[in-house]
């Protein structure tokens, strides 16, 4: 049986390194931007993330796109 995938939601996460701990380990904070169109191309989302990264005070350690899909049984 085939699975039918229906895109539901998408969001963009920027992981920022906001400092270092006492032992020298990095401290991270995550900024999440919701309501990204699921149909948006990954390259376009990445380009927006790069633009947002340029506006941040702290360096960006990671860019992540989170996609939620509904799964159902296909015919």
| Closest to 6 measured CA to CA, from 73, 69, 65 | 69
The whole-angstrom separation of Cα 38 and Cα 69 is: 9
> Would you kindly state where each structural domain of the chain is located, as residue ranges?
3-73
Name beta bridge partners: 26: 20
Q: What pTM value is reported for the model?
A: 0.83
pLDDT single digits (tens) 13-45: 999 999 999 999 999 999 999 999 999 999 999
End-to-end CA separation in angstroms for the chain? 7
CA-based radius of gyration for the chain = 16
pLDDT single digits (tens) 50-63: 999 999 999 999 99
């Amino acid at each position: 049986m085939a699975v039918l995938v229906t895109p539901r939601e998408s969001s963009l996460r920027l992981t920022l390194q906001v400092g270092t701990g006492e032992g020298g380990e990095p401290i991270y904070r995550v900024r999440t931007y919701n309501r990204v169109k699921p149909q948006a191309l990954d390259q376009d989302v990445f380009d927006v993330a790069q633009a947002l990264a340029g506006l941040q005070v702290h360096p960006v350690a990671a860019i992540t796109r989170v996609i939620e899909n509904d799964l159902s049984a296909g015919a």
